[in-house]
Amino acid sequence: MREVAVIGVGIQKWGELWEKSLRDIFVESALNAMKDAGVDKIDSMYVGCMSSGLFTGQEHIASLLADYLGFNPNPAVRVESACASGGVAFRQGFIEVASGFSDVVLVGGVEKMTDVDGGTATYALGTAADQEYECYNGATFPGLYALIARAHMSKYGTTLEQLADVTVKNHDNGSLNPHAQYPFKVTREQVMTSTMVADPLRILHCSGITDGAAAAILAPVELAKSMKKNPIIKVAGSGHATDTIALHSRDDITFLRATAEAARRAFDMAGVGPKDIDFAEVHDCFSIAEICVSEALGFFEKGQGGKAAEAGETRLGGEIPINPSGGLKAKGHPVGATGIAQVHELVTQLRQDAGKRQVKNARRALSQNMGGTGGSALVHILEVA
Amino acid sequence: MLTPSKYWRESPQRYRLEAAKCTKCGKVFFPPRLVCDSCKNGEFEKTTLPDEGKIVSYSMIHVTASNFSDEAPIALGIIELDNGTKITAQVTDCTEDELAVGVPVKLEFRKVQEAGESGVLCYGYKAVLKR
Protein backbone atom coordinates (compact mmCIF):
# COMPACT_ATOMS: atom_id res chain seq x y z
CA MET A 1 0.00 0.00 0.00
CA ARG A 2 1.36 3.44 -0.91
CA GLU A 3 1.38 6.37 1.50
CA VAL A 4 -1.15 9.03 0.47
CA ALA A 5 -1.03 12.81 0.86
CA VAL A 6 -3.68 15.51 0.61
CA ILE A 7 -2.02 17.94 -1.81
CA GLY A 8 -4.85 20.43 -2.24
CA VAL A 9 -8.18 21.53 -0.77
CA GLY A 10 -10.96 23.82 -1.96
CA ILE A 11 -14.21 25.26 -0.66
CA GLN A 12 -16.32 28.41 -1.01
CA LYS A 13 -18.40 30.63 1.27
CA TRP A 14 -21.36 28.44 2.28
CA GLY A 15 -24.93 29.56 2.73
CA GLU A 16 -28.19 29.96 0.82
CA LEU A 17 -26.59 30.29 -2.60
CA TRP A 18 -29.69 31.11 -4.65
CA GLU A 19 -27.73 32.26 -7.69
CA LYS A 20 -25.65 29.08 -7.94
CA SER A 21 -26.62 25.57 -9.03
CA LEU A 22 -25.35 22.21 -7.74
CA ARG A 23 -22.94 21.98 -10.66
CA ASP A 24 -21.70 25.56 -10.09
CA ILE A 25 -20.82 25.05 -6.45
CA PHE A 26 -19.17 21.70 -7.00
CA VAL A 27 -17.00 22.91 -9.89
CA GLU A 28 -16.07 26.06 -7.99
CA SER A 29 -14.74 24.03 -5.02
CA ALA A 30 -13.07 21.47 -7.28
CA LEU A 31 -11.24 24.18 -9.23
CA ASN A 32 -10.14 25.79 -5.96
CA ALA A 33 -8.73 22.46 -4.81
CA MET A 34 -6.91 21.85 -8.11
CA LYS A 35 -5.44 25.34 -8.05
CA ASP A 36 -4.34 24.80 -4.45
CA ALA A 37 -2.73 21.48 -5.42
CA GLY A 38 -1.15 22.88 -8.59
CA VAL A 39 -2.58 20.14 -10.82
CA ASP A 40 -4.47 20.57 -14.07
CA LYS A 41 -5.64 17.01 -14.56
CA ILE A 42 -6.99 14.21 -12.41
CA ASP A 43 -7.17 10.46 -12.98
CA SER A 44 -10.55 9.94 -11.39
CA MET A 45 -13.09 11.49 -9.08
CA TYR A 46 -15.38 10.49 -6.19
CA VAL A 47 -18.32 12.71 -5.30
CA GLY A 48 -20.18 12.38 -2.03
CA CYS A 49 -23.79 13.52 -2.29
CA MET A 50 -26.71 12.36 -0.20
CA SER A 51 -29.73 13.24 -2.26
CA SER A 52 -29.36 15.39 -5.36
CA GLY A 53 -32.50 13.59 -6.58
CA LEU A 54 -34.77 14.71 -3.75
CA PHE A 55 -33.14 18.14 -3.35
CA THR A 56 -32.77 19.12 -7.02
CA GLY A 57 -34.33 16.36 -9.15
CA GLN A 58 -30.94 15.48 -10.65
CA GLU A 59 -29.32 12.05 -10.42
CA HIS A 60 -26.35 10.70 -12.42
CA ILE A 61 -24.29 13.61 -11.13
CA ALA A 62 -20.83 12.02 -11.21
CA SER A 63 -20.65 12.14 -15.00
CA LEU A 64 -22.42 15.49 -15.08
CA LEU A 65 -19.89 17.04 -12.71
CA ALA A 66 -16.94 15.45 -14.53
CA ASP A 67 -18.34 17.04 -17.70
CA TYR A 68 -18.69 20.51 -16.14
CA LEU A 69 -15.22 20.20 -14.63
CA GLY A 70 -13.90 19.37 -18.10
CA PHE A 71 -12.80 15.84 -17.25
CA ASN A 72 -14.89 13.57 -19.44
CA PRO A 73 -14.03 10.79 -20.31
CA ASN A 74 -12.23 10.06 -17.01
CA PRO A 75 -14.10 7.92 -14.50
CA ALA A 76 -16.25 9.56 -11.84
CA VAL A 77 -18.32 7.87 -9.13
CA ARG A 78 -20.97 9.24 -6.80
CA VAL A 79 -21.09 7.65 -3.37
CA GLU A 80 -23.91 7.90 -0.85
CA SER A 81 -24.02 7.22 2.88
CA ALA A 82 -26.42 9.96 3.95
CA CYS A 83 -24.53 12.74 5.79
CA ALA A 84 -21.37 10.60 5.72
CA SER A 85 -21.24 10.65 1.90
CA GLY A 86 -18.28 13.05 1.84
CA GLY A 87 -16.30 10.91 4.26
CA VAL A 88 -16.96 7.85 2.11
CA ALA A 89 -15.77 9.73 -0.99
CA PHE A 90 -12.55 10.63 0.81
CA ARG A 91 -11.97 7.04 1.88
CA GLN A 92 -12.66 5.60 -1.58
CA GLY A 93 -10.23 8.06 -3.15
CA PHE A 94 -7.66 7.20 -0.49
CA ILE A 95 -8.03 3.49 -1.24
CA GLU A 96 -7.68 4.11 -4.99
CA VAL A 97 -4.44 6.08 -4.58
CA ALA A 98 -3.04 3.80 -1.86
CA SER A 99 -3.66 0.73 -4.02
CA GLY A 100 -1.69 2.21 -6.90
CA PHE A 101 -4.69 2.18 -9.21
CA SER A 102 -4.58 5.97 -9.73
CA ASP A 103 -2.13 8.76 -8.92
CA VAL A 104 -4.19 11.94 -8.68
CA VAL A 105 -7.77 11.61 -7.44
CA LEU A 106 -10.25 14.37 -6.70
CA VAL A 107 -12.56 13.65 -3.78
CA GLY A 108 -15.46 16.03 -3.38
CA GLY A 109 -18.77 16.49 -1.69
CA VAL A 110 -21.78 18.61 -2.59
CA GLU A 111 -25.34 19.29 -1.53
CA LYS A 112 -27.71 21.89 -2.97
CA MET A 113 -30.47 22.02 -0.34
CA THR A 114 -32.32 25.30 -0.87
CA ASP A 115 -34.05 24.52 -4.15
CA VAL A 116 -36.85 22.90 -2.10
CA ASP A 117 -39.02 24.19 0.77
CA GLY A 118 -38.40 23.32 4.42
CA GLY A 119 -40.93 20.45 4.49
CA THR A 120 -39.37 18.77 1.47
CA ALA A 121 -35.89 19.23 2.93
CA THR A 122 -37.05 17.65 6.21
CA TYR A 123 -38.46 14.74 4.23
CA ALA A 124 -35.29 14.33 2.17
CA LEU A 125 -33.08 14.33 5.28
CA GLY A 126 -35.49 11.92 6.97
CA THR A 127 -34.74 9.30 4.33
CA ALA A 128 -31.48 8.67 6.23
CA ALA A 129 -33.58 7.13 9.02
CA ASP A 130 -35.66 3.92 8.86
CA GLN A 131 -38.58 4.98 6.67
CA GLU A 132 -40.93 2.16 7.70
CA TYR A 133 -40.24 1.93 11.45
CA GLU A 134 -39.07 5.41 12.47
CA CYS A 135 -40.33 8.05 10.03
CA TYR A 136 -43.68 6.26 9.48
CA ASN A 137 -44.43 6.86 13.15
CA GLY A 138 -43.48 10.54 13.05
CA ALA A 139 -39.72 10.60 13.60
CA THR A 140 -37.66 13.51 12.27
CA PHE A 141 -33.91 13.96 12.56
CA PRO A 142 -34.09 16.57 15.31
CA GLY A 143 -36.60 14.23 17.00
CA LEU A 144 -34.25 11.24 16.87
CA TYR A 145 -31.33 13.24 18.23
CA ALA A 146 -33.67 14.62 20.89
CA LEU A 147 -34.29 11.00 21.97
CA ILE A 148 -30.52 10.54 22.27
CA ALA A 149 -30.23 13.81 24.21
CA ARG A 150 -32.99 12.91 26.66
CA ALA A 151 -31.49 9.46 27.25
CA HIS A 152 -28.01 11.00 27.78
CA MET A 153 -29.44 13.52 30.24
CA SER A 154 -31.33 10.78 32.08
CA LYS A 155 -28.42 8.33 32.21
CA TYR A 156 -25.49 10.69 32.85
CA GLY A 157 -26.98 13.91 34.17
CA THR A 158 -26.01 15.93 31.11
CA THR A 159 -27.62 19.36 31.35
CA LEU A 160 -29.32 21.82 29.00
CA GLU A 161 -26.54 24.28 29.82
CA GLN A 162 -23.92 21.78 28.64
CA LEU A 163 -25.81 21.23 25.39
CA ALA A 164 -25.95 25.00 24.89
CA ASP A 165 -22.24 25.37 25.56
CA VAL A 166 -21.45 23.18 22.54
CA THR A 167 -23.39 25.59 20.34
CA VAL A 168 -21.82 28.67 21.93
CA LYS A 169 -18.30 27.29 21.40
CA ASN A 170 -18.97 26.32 17.78
CA HIS A 171 -20.37 29.76 16.97
CA ASP A 172 -17.38 31.39 18.67
CA ASN A 173 -15.11 29.38 16.35
CA GLY A 174 -17.36 29.89 13.32
CA SER A 175 -17.23 33.66 13.80
CA LEU A 176 -13.54 33.36 12.84
CA ASN A 177 -14.17 31.28 9.70
CA PRO A 178 -14.67 33.25 6.45
CA HIS A 179 -16.41 30.28 4.80
CA ALA A 180 -19.00 29.79 7.54
CA GLN A 181 -22.72 30.13 6.83
CA TYR A 182 -23.40 31.61 10.30
CA PRO A 183 -20.20 33.52 11.22
CA PHE A 184 -21.50 35.12 14.41
CA LYS A 185 -21.46 34.46 18.14
CA VAL A 186 -24.45 33.41 20.23
CA THR A 187 -24.92 33.39 24.00
CA ARG A 188 -25.98 30.52 26.23
CA GLU A 189 -29.21 32.40 26.96
CA GLN A 190 -29.97 32.86 23.25
CA VAL A 191 -29.52 29.12 22.69
CA MET A 192 -31.68 28.17 25.68
CA THR A 193 -34.56 30.44 24.67
CA SER A 194 -34.49 29.83 20.91
CA THR A 195 -37.45 28.18 19.16
CA MET A 196 -38.19 24.64 20.30
CA VAL A 197 -37.78 22.09 17.50
CA ALA A 198 -37.88 18.72 19.29
CA ASP A 199 -37.67 18.96 23.07
CA PRO A 200 -34.99 19.30 24.48
CA LEU A 201 -33.40 20.47 21.20
CA ARG A 202 -34.01 24.04 20.09
CA ILE A 203 -33.20 25.62 16.75
CA LEU A 204 -29.77 26.75 17.98
CA HIS A 205 -28.88 23.13 18.80
CA CYS A 206 -29.47 22.18 15.16
CA SER A 207 -27.29 22.59 12.08
CA GLY A 208 -28.94 24.49 9.24
CA ILE A 209 -29.97 23.96 5.64
CA THR A 210 -26.97 24.82 3.47
CA ASP A 211 -25.79 24.95 -0.12
CA GLY A 212 -22.14 24.09 -0.38
CA ALA A 213 -19.36 21.93 -1.74
CA ALA A 214 -15.79 21.06 -0.85
CA ALA A 215 -13.00 19.16 -2.60
CA ALA A 216 -9.59 17.70 -1.91
CA ILE A 217 -6.85 16.30 -4.14
CA LEU A 218 -5.15 13.05 -3.13
CA ALA A 219 -1.81 11.80 -4.47
CA PRO A 220 0.99 9.45 -3.37
CA VAL A 221 3.36 10.97 -0.80
CA GLU A 222 6.23 10.34 -3.26
CA LEU A 223 4.51 12.49 -5.88
CA ALA A 224 3.81 15.20 -3.28
CA LYS A 225 7.54 15.21 -2.44
CA SER A 226 8.53 15.55 -6.08
CA MET A 227 6.07 18.46 -6.38
CA LYS A 228 7.94 20.10 -3.45
CA LYS A 229 4.80 20.31 -1.29
CA ASN A 230 5.60 21.73 2.12
CA PRO A 231 4.35 20.63 4.53
CA ILE A 232 3.31 17.20 3.30
CA ILE A 233 -0.01 16.25 4.88
CA LYS A 234 -0.28 12.49 5.06
CA VAL A 235 -3.39 10.34 5.55
CA ALA A 236 -2.21 8.32 8.55
CA GLY A 237 -5.41 6.43 9.33
CA SER A 238 -8.78 5.65 7.80
CA GLY A 239 -11.64 3.85 9.55
CA HIS A 240 -15.17 3.12 8.35
CA ALA A 241 -17.91 1.29 10.24
CA THR A 242 -21.67 0.72 10.16
CA ASP A 243 -24.47 0.25 12.69
CA THR A 244 -28.25 -0.20 12.56
CA ILE A 245 -29.86 2.85 10.99
CA ALA A 246 -32.87 2.46 13.31
CA LEU A 247 -31.87 4.11 16.58
CA HIS A 248 -34.19 1.87 18.63
CA SER A 249 -32.35 -1.27 17.48
CA ARG A 250 -29.21 -0.37 19.48
CA ASP A 251 -28.52 -1.68 22.97
CA ASP A 252 -27.52 1.79 24.22
CA ILE A 253 -28.91 4.74 22.24
CA THR A 254 -26.42 7.14 23.85
CA PHE A 255 -23.36 5.29 22.52
CA LEU A 256 -22.25 5.70 18.88
CA ARG A 257 -20.92 2.20 18.21
CA ALA A 258 -20.01 2.79 14.56
CA THR A 259 -18.01 5.91 15.46
CA ALA A 260 -16.14 4.02 18.18
CA GLU A 261 -15.38 1.17 15.77
CA ALA A 262 -14.30 3.48 12.91
CA ALA A 263 -12.04 5.32 15.39
CA ARG A 264 -10.51 2.06 16.59
CA ARG A 265 -9.68 1.10 13.01
CA ALA A 266 -8.22 4.52 12.18
CA PHE A 267 -6.18 4.68 15.39
CA ASP A 268 -4.83 1.15 14.79
CA MET A 269 -3.81 2.04 11.25
CA ALA A 270 -2.10 5.26 12.34
CA GLY A 271 -0.52 3.62 15.40
CA VAL A 272 -1.76 6.39 17.69
CA GLY A 273 -4.53 6.95 20.25
CA PRO A 274 -6.94 9.73 21.29
CA LYS A 275 -4.27 11.40 23.43
CA ASP A 276 -2.05 11.88 20.35
CA ILE A 277 -4.61 14.02 18.52
CA ASP A 278 -4.08 17.80 18.56
CA PHE A 279 -7.63 18.75 17.50
CA ALA A 280 -10.69 17.21 15.82
CA GLU A 281 -13.44 18.13 13.39
CA VAL A 282 -16.53 16.10 14.32
CA HIS A 283 -20.11 15.67 13.13
CA ASP A 284 -22.11 18.07 15.33
CA CYS A 285 -25.33 17.94 13.30
CA PHE A 286 -26.95 18.57 16.70
CA SER A 287 -25.20 19.71 19.88
CA ILE A 288 -25.83 16.34 21.57
CA ALA A 289 -24.07 14.62 18.66
CA GLU A 290 -20.79 16.40 19.43
CA ILE A 291 -21.02 15.27 23.06
CA CYS A 292 -21.68 11.62 22.11
CA VAL A 293 -18.98 11.67 19.41
CA SER A 294 -16.37 13.10 21.79
CA GLU A 295 -17.06 10.10 24.06
CA ALA A 296 -17.10 7.49 21.27
CA LEU A 297 -13.75 8.76 19.96
CA GLY A 298 -12.22 8.22 23.39
CA PHE A 299 -11.48 11.88 24.14
CA PHE A 300 -13.68 11.59 27.24
CA GLU A 301 -15.17 8.79 29.30
CA LYS A 302 -18.74 7.73 28.54
CA GLY A 303 -21.12 10.30 29.98
CA GLN A 304 -18.43 12.96 30.48
CA GLY A 305 -18.71 14.77 27.11
CA GLY A 306 -21.19 17.36 28.38
CA LYS A 307 -19.15 18.21 31.44
CA ALA A 308 -16.00 18.52 29.31
CA ALA A 309 -17.76 20.95 26.95
CA GLU A 310 -18.95 23.04 29.90
CA ALA A 311 -15.43 23.08 31.37
CA GLY A 312 -14.04 24.50 28.11
CA GLU A 313 -11.88 21.47 27.30
CA THR A 314 -13.08 21.46 23.68
CA ARG A 315 -12.60 25.18 23.05
CA LEU A 316 -9.67 26.65 21.12
CA GLY A 317 -6.83 26.54 23.63
CA GLY A 318 -8.52 23.72 25.57
CA GLU A 319 -7.32 20.18 26.17
CA ILE A 320 -8.67 18.90 22.84
CA PRO A 321 -10.14 21.62 20.59
CA ILE A 322 -13.19 20.27 18.75
CA ASN A 323 -14.57 21.90 15.61
CA PRO A 324 -12.25 24.91 15.28
CA SER A 325 -14.02 25.54 11.93
CA GLY A 326 -17.30 26.20 13.75
CA GLY A 327 -18.52 22.70 13.02
CA LEU A 328 -21.69 21.83 11.18
CA LYS A 329 -23.53 24.20 13.50
CA ALA A 330 -21.84 27.46 12.46
CA LYS A 331 -20.07 26.52 9.24
CA GLY A 332 -23.23 24.96 7.75
CA HIS A 333 -24.13 21.38 6.84
CA PRO A 334 -24.58 20.72 3.11
CA VAL A 335 -24.84 17.06 3.99
CA GLY A 336 -22.80 15.42 1.23
CA ALA A 337 -20.05 18.05 1.46
CA THR A 338 -19.49 17.96 5.21
CA GLY A 339 -17.01 15.05 5.32
CA ILE A 340 -14.75 16.77 2.79
CA ALA A 341 -15.08 20.20 4.42
CA GLN A 342 -13.77 18.62 7.64
CA VAL A 343 -10.67 17.54 5.70
CA HIS A 344 -10.39 21.10 4.34
CA GLU A 345 -10.20 22.38 7.92
CA LEU A 346 -7.71 19.70 8.99
CA VAL A 347 -5.38 20.59 6.11
CA THR A 348 -5.76 24.34 6.65
CA GLN A 349 -4.88 23.96 10.34
CA LEU A 350 -1.99 21.53 9.74
CA ARG A 351 -0.53 24.07 7.30
CA GLN A 352 -0.86 26.64 10.13
CA ASP A 353 -3.02 28.73 7.77
CA ALA A 354 -6.18 29.04 9.90
CA GLY A 355 -5.61 32.63 11.06
CA LYS A 356 -7.40 33.60 14.26
CA ARG A 357 -8.86 30.12 14.77
CA GLN A 358 -5.48 28.40 14.41
CA VAL A 359 -4.84 25.52 16.82
CA LYS A 360 -1.29 26.25 17.92
CA ASN A 361 1.36 23.80 16.67
CA ALA A 362 -1.21 21.37 15.28
CA ARG A 363 0.64 18.37 13.82
CA ARG A 364 -1.94 15.57 13.87
CA ALA A 365 -5.71 15.89 13.58
CA LEU A 366 -8.82 13.73 13.30
CA SER A 367 -12.06 14.06 11.36
CA GLN A 368 -15.26 12.16 12.17
CA ASN A 369 -18.22 12.15 9.79
CA MET A 370 -21.43 10.17 10.29
CA GLY A 371 -24.70 9.39 8.56
CA GLY A 372 -28.17 9.34 10.09
CA THR A 373 -28.14 8.82 13.85
CA GLY A 374 -24.75 7.13 13.49
CA GLY A 375 -25.54 4.20 11.20
CA SER A 376 -22.45 5.08 9.14
CA ALA A 377 -19.23 6.54 10.50
CA LEU A 378 -15.90 7.56 9.03
CA VAL A 379 -12.81 8.55 10.95
CA HIS A 380 -9.68 9.90 9.29
CA ILE A 381 -6.38 10.91 10.87
CA LEU A 382 -4.14 13.37 9.01
CA GLU A 383 -0.63 14.35 10.10
CA VAL A 384 2.29 16.44 8.98
CA ALA A 385 4.75 13.94 7.46
CA MET B 1 -44.45 8.39 -0.75
CA LEU B 2 -46.72 5.68 0.67
CA THR B 3 -48.25 3.54 -2.07
CA PRO B 4 -50.81 0.79 -1.31
CA SER B 5 -48.36 -2.09 -1.84
CA LYS B 6 -45.68 -0.47 0.25
CA TYR B 7 -48.17 0.11 3.05
CA TRP B 8 -49.90 -3.30 2.81
CA ARG B 9 -46.59 -5.20 2.96
CA GLU B 10 -45.88 -3.96 6.51
CA SER B 11 -49.39 -4.49 7.89
CA PRO B 12 -48.63 -7.73 9.82
CA GLN B 13 -46.15 -5.74 11.89
CA ARG B 14 -48.16 -2.55 12.20
CA TYR B 15 -51.54 -4.17 12.85
CA ARG B 16 -50.58 -7.27 14.81
CA LEU B 17 -46.98 -6.73 16.05
CA GLU B 18 -45.84 -9.88 14.23
CA ALA B 19 -42.14 -10.58 14.74
CA ALA B 20 -39.74 -13.41 13.90
CA LYS B 21 -37.92 -15.57 16.45
CA CYS B 22 -34.70 -17.32 15.42
CA THR B 23 -35.23 -21.08 15.79
CA LYS B 24 -31.58 -21.55 16.77
CA CYS B 25 -30.67 -18.79 19.23
CA GLY B 26 -34.09 -17.39 20.06
CA LYS B 27 -33.34 -13.75 19.14
CA VAL B 28 -36.50 -11.82 18.21
CA PHE B 29 -36.57 -9.50 15.17
CA PHE B 30 -39.09 -6.75 14.54
CA PRO B 31 -39.67 -6.46 11.65
CA PRO B 32 -38.82 -10.03 10.56
CA ARG B 33 -35.67 -10.56 8.51
CA LEU B 34 -34.08 -13.34 6.48
CA VAL B 35 -30.93 -13.99 8.48
CA CYS B 36 -30.19 -13.79 12.19
CA ASP B 37 -27.48 -11.20 12.85
CA SER B 38 -26.41 -13.09 15.93
CA CYS B 39 -26.03 -16.75 14.84
CA LYS B 40 -26.54 -16.39 11.04
CA ASN B 41 -29.37 -18.93 11.08
CA GLY B 42 -31.99 -18.47 8.35
CA GLU B 43 -35.01 -20.15 9.98
CA PHE B 44 -37.53 -18.31 12.11
CA GLU B 45 -40.87 -18.93 13.75
CA LYS B 46 -43.59 -16.34 13.92
CA THR B 47 -44.07 -14.66 17.27
CA THR B 48 -46.08 -11.71 18.56
CA LEU B 49 -44.50 -8.85 20.49
CA PRO B 50 -45.87 -8.08 23.94
CA ASP B 51 -47.98 -4.91 23.89
CA GLU B 52 -46.68 -3.52 27.17
CA GLY B 53 -43.40 -1.88 28.05
CA LYS B 54 -41.78 1.33 29.25
CA ILE B 55 -40.46 4.60 27.83
CA VAL B 56 -36.69 4.54 27.21
CA SER B 57 -36.62 8.10 25.85
CA TYR B 58 -39.08 10.63 24.46
CA SER B 59 -39.32 13.99 22.70
CA MET B 60 -42.13 16.41 22.08
CA ILE B 61 -41.61 17.17 18.39
CA HIS B 62 -42.79 20.69 17.53
CA VAL B 63 -41.50 20.84 13.95
CA THR B 64 -42.89 17.68 12.36
CA ALA B 65 -42.60 16.23 8.89
CA SER B 66 -45.32 17.71 6.66
CA ASN B 67 -47.56 14.60 6.91
CA PHE B 68 -47.84 15.11 10.69
CA SER B 69 -48.12 18.92 10.73
CA ASP B 70 -51.88 18.91 11.49
CA GLU B 71 -51.16 17.06 14.74
CA ALA B 72 -48.08 18.99 15.88
CA PRO B 73 -46.69 18.84 18.45
CA ILE B 74 -46.45 15.06 18.68
CA ALA B 75 -44.75 13.02 21.40
CA LEU B 76 -42.35 10.43 20.02
CA GLY B 77 -40.82 7.73 22.16
CA ILE B 78 -38.55 4.73 22.08
CA ILE B 79 -40.45 1.99 23.92
CA GLU B 80 -38.79 -1.07 25.37
CA LEU B 81 -41.40 -3.85 25.34
CA ASP B 82 -41.54 -6.45 28.09
CA ASN B 83 -39.53 -8.98 26.02
CA GLY B 84 -36.70 -6.44 25.54
CA THR B 85 -37.51 -5.47 21.92
CA LYS B 86 -37.37 -1.71 21.36
CA ILE B 87 -39.59 0.18 18.91
CA THR B 88 -40.21 3.81 17.95
CA ALA B 89 -43.80 4.96 18.46
CA GLN B 90 -45.85 8.03 19.21
CA VAL B 91 -47.01 8.39 22.80
CA THR B 92 -50.56 9.69 22.72
CA ASP B 93 -53.48 10.81 24.92
CA CYS B 94 -51.23 12.46 27.48
CA THR B 95 -49.84 15.84 28.48
CA GLU B 96 -46.16 16.73 28.18
CA ASP B 97 -45.58 16.70 31.94
CA GLU B 98 -46.80 13.10 32.23
CA LEU B 99 -43.93 11.91 30.03
CA ALA B 100 -40.82 10.55 31.72
CA VAL B 101 -38.13 7.94 31.18
CA GLY B 102 -39.26 4.64 32.68
CA VAL B 103 -43.01 5.34 32.59
CA PRO B 104 -45.04 2.15 31.77
CA VAL B 105 -47.03 2.19 28.53
CA LYS B 106 -49.33 -0.07 26.52
CA LEU B 107 -49.49 -0.22 22.72
CA GLU B 108 -52.85 0.44 21.05
CA PHE B 109 -54.02 0.15 17.45
CA ARG B 110 -54.47 3.70 16.11
CA LYS B 111 -54.55 5.76 12.95
CA VAL B 112 -50.97 6.98 12.45
CA GLN B 113 -51.16 9.23 9.38
CA GLU B 114 -52.98 10.06 6.17
CA ALA B 115 -50.76 9.74 3.13
CA GLY B 116 -51.69 12.78 1.07
CA GLU B 117 -55.09 14.40 0.51
CA SER B 118 -56.60 11.40 -1.26
CA GLY B 119 -54.10 8.84 -0.05
CA VAL B 120 -54.52 5.76 2.09
CA LEU B 121 -55.38 6.01 5.76
CA CYS B 122 -52.42 4.51 7.59
CA TYR B 123 -52.78 2.59 10.83
CA GLY B 124 -50.36 1.12 13.31
CA TYR B 125 -49.33 1.16 16.95
CA LYS B 126 -49.15 4.08 19.36
CA ALA B 127 -48.29 3.98 23.04
CA VAL B 128 -50.63 5.18 25.80
CA LEU B 129 -49.64 5.62 29.44
CA LYS B 130 -50.70 2.92 31.87
CA ARG B 131 -52.41 4.91 34.58
- Residue A384 is predicted with a pLDDT of 98
Note whether B89 and B116 are same-domain residues. Answer: yes
CATH topology of domain A139-205+236-380: Peroxisomal Thiolase; Chain A, domain 1 (3.40.47)
Per the domain annotation, does B1 fall within a domain? no
**pLDDT tens column, B71-95:** 999 999 999 999 999 999 999 999 9
- pLDDT exceeds 80 at position B118: no
Per the domain annotation, does B74 fall within a domain? yes
Note whether B60 and B44 are same-domain residues. Answer: no
- Residue A119 is predicted with a pLDDT of 85
CATH, residue B78 = 2.40.50
Portion of chain B with pLDDT greater than 70, in percent: 97
Cis preceding linkage at A334, omega within 30: no
Note whether B44 and B69 are same-domain residues. Answer: no
- pLDDT exceeds 80 at position B41: yes
Mean per-residue pLDDT for B1-5? 79
| B47 lies within 8 A of chain A by CB | no
Least Cα separation, residue A281 to chain B (angstroms) = 28
- Residue B1 is predicted with a pLDDT of 66
- Residue A296 is predicted with a pLDDT of 98
Nearest Cα to Cα of residue A215 among A343, A104, A113, A377: A343
Per the domain annotation, does B30 fall within a domain? yes
Per the domain annotation, does B126 fall within a domain? yes
Nearest Cα to Cα of residue A230 among A10, A33, A7, A2: A7
Per the domain annotation, does B107 fall within a domain? yes
In chain A, helix, strand, coil percent, each to 5?
A: 40, 20, 40
Residues of A involved in catalysis: 83, 333
Residues of chain A contacting residue B96, judged by C-beta atoms under 8 Å apart: 199
pTM of the model as a whole: 0.98
For residue B31, give its domain range. Answer: 13-48
Least Cα separation, residue A169 to chain B (angstroms) = 25
Q: Where in chain A is the domain with CATH 3.40.47.10?
A: 4-117+209-226, 139-205+236-380
CATH topology of domain A4-117+209-226: Peroxisomal Thiolase; Chain A, domain 1 (3.40.47)
Note whether B22 and B73 are same-domain residues. Answer: no
Per the domain annotation, does B19 fall within a domain? yes
Note whether B98 and B71 are same-domain residues. Answer: yes
User: Is A138's CB within 8 Å of B57's CB?
Assistant: no
Note whether B59 and B44 are same-domain residues. Answer: no
Taking 50 as the pLDDT cut, the residues of chain A under it are none
**Distance, CA of A89 to CA of A250 (rounded, Å):** 26
Note whether B44 and B54 are same-domain residues. Answer: no
Backbone angles phi, psi at B113, to 5 degrees: -160, 165
Q: Is A250 exposed, middle or buried (0-12, 13-18, 19+ CB in 10 A)?
A: buried
Note whether B116 and B102 are same-domain residues. Answer: yes
- pLDDT exceeds 90 at position B3: no
Note whether B43 and B71 are same-domain residues. Answer: no
User: Is A123's CB within 8 Å of B78's CB?
Assistant: no
Note whether B40 and B58 are same-domain residues. Answer: no
Q: Quote the number of domains for chain B.
A: 2
Residue A367 parent element (H or E) = strand A364-371
